[in-house]
Amino acid sequence: MDTALLESTANFLVGPGRGILAADESNGTMTKRLESVGVESSPETRREYRASLFAMPTISKAISGVILYDETIRQNAVDGTSIPDYLHARNIMPGIKVDTGAKPLAGHDGETVTEGLDGLRERCAEYFEMGARFAKWRAVIRISDTMPSEACISTNAHALARYAAICQEQGLVPIIEPEVLMEGDHDAVRCYAVTADVLAATWDECKVQGVHLPGALLKPNMVLPGKGHSTRSDVETCARMTVDLLHSHVPHEIPGIVFLSGGQTEVEATAHLNMMNNMGPHPFQLSYSYGRALQATTLKTWAKNRDDVSVAHKVFAHRCEMAHLARSGSWSANLEV
């Protein structure tokens, strides 16, 4: 394990003012998103859309890394070079989704365990050769009156730790993503408690597997009530509870937190991150690994203006600038259009 390389990459990804673009939607998910905006999904249309994002002129101001899907890492950018080479040339690290999806957890209806450990070492070695320098693995945790079960928490924590150890062995910084979903009618206090339990189990397993925490990143949910709850948390409450959770339940050796935006609007995800960064100092960088919170409006705009990518670039540049400002607590609502 090259700990110096891992630490250098991890710190690069959470460097000042920048964060990660999650462009690793599976072909099935990307097909649904393209069809929702009236574009037929194919390897070429998926490449066309993603390559247009990566070509946005000011992308490197706000984006330090891009998580790719297996199909995308093998495709070419707008200038004909490979997408990993294109990103490296723009001072952006290519990353790769390496799990194979959440599958039903035996004996536990409604719960899942993320698979993909078989053959992972060989896949990581190939991706590193292709230019990837970090990876992502997402565990999915649901909340209900009976969930999550101890089995769900333990099996996903174990898989996350084994994934992280294998990635580090092959030179890839692991993004550890145990996502507690917003689906449900639970309140924010319940979200906090479940997320704390999931994190505790994950760090315990990482210790057992020998994961080098200074060379890893965490991609957690924020502390929010479920979508079905009667009230929504205000921005300050969400930020305060999330910061408290992280300070108390994340080892301070972790160099950065790259939040997922799951279930939030573009502005909500930006406002929450901005507020948290105003509550510092923190023992780790608070950054982003956003998918829809950077792309939702961009995708709709691109679909209507495929003959002129500058129109979508303007929209994407705005979202990137808002996220960039939130890294330093400099965003405000009046900057939104």
Token output for 293:
């919170």
CA distances 269 to 86, 129, 166, 239, 296, Å, are 28, 34, 31, 11, 12
**Active site (catalytic) residues:** 177, 219
> Regarding beta strands 102-104 and 112-114, do their DSSP bridges make them parallel or antiparallel, or are they unpaired?
antiparallel
Please provide the DSSP assignment of 250-263 as one string. S-TT--EEEE--TT
CA–CA dist 141, 10 (Å, integer)? 25
281: CB partners within 8 A, 6+ apart? none
Write the CA distances from 111 to 117, 139, 146, 229, 326, integer angstroms: 19, 11, 10, 21, 34
Q: How far is CA 113 from the centre of its chain?
A: 18
Q: Are strands 134-141 and 173-180 parallel, antiparallel or unpaired?
A: parallel
Rounded distance between C-alpha atoms, residue 57 and residue 36, angstroms = 27
Q: Are 52 and 104 in contact (CB under 8 A)?
A: no
Structure tokens at 234: 């205000």
As a whole number of angstroms, the distance between CA 310 and CA 107 comes to 51
